[in-house]
Amino acid sequence: MPGIGQSGSSPAPHEDSLGVIISLPAELAAEIGARRARYAGPGAAVVPPHITLVSGRAADSWDEAASYVREVAAAGEPFTLSLRGTGTFEPVSPVVYLNVESGAENCAKLHDALLEGPVEHLLDFDFHPHLTVAHDLDADAMEQAKDEMADFTADFEVTSIGLFDFLAGGWALREELELGGNGKS
């Protein structure tokens, strides 16, 4: 999850970093991952395609923040998420993304609930649920991504959210938390 915002004095991920994402079904992740690699090269495959709900750090203790994320997941409900066509944050930020249509309100609700607890988040921009397909590439690659993915559509059920931390210099999935469940999926 490189490039995600962090609160505190340094924007770089650190030991208190915390991320909460929506992962994609394996087949869909593989398809989008292959397209991302076409635009940005093999290094793009390092970060699997996902939808970030929040990224930041624990306000006090990582365990306290993680416990709160578990509570938010348990109080949530599964929903259908639809990806439809491309958008961009240009000229503010060099990002081409897939639009989240159905399910955007559910993502925003989860995002807001996560920020009500002991999770700090530096909000450079308003939250906009999306799936990044190209980021900070040359103009031709950005345009190719925008054009080739313009008619892309996919629907899937979101039944869990992933809780990540930053260990040994990289993001690692700590837990996959069922929405509306009392345990791990």
pLDDT at 58: 86
Cα 127 from chain centroid (whole Å): 11
Other residues' Cβ atoms within 10 Å of the Cβ of residue 26: 9
pLDDT digits (tens, 9 = 90+) for 10-35: 445 556 788 999 999 999 999 999 99
Question: What token pair was written down for 125?
Answer: 């921009």
Q: Look at residue 95 and give its three-state secondary structure.
A: strand
pLDDT at 16: 73
pLDDT at 12: 52
d(CA 111, CA 72): 10
Q: Look at residue 107 and give its three-state secondary structure.
A: helix
pLDDT at 5: 35
pLDDT along the chain (185 residues), means of 10: 37 70 95 90 74 88 93 97 95 92 97 92 81 90 94 97 83 91 53
Closest to 22 (Cα-Cα) out of 174, 167, 96, 131: 131
pLDDT at 130: 96
pLDDT at 182: 54
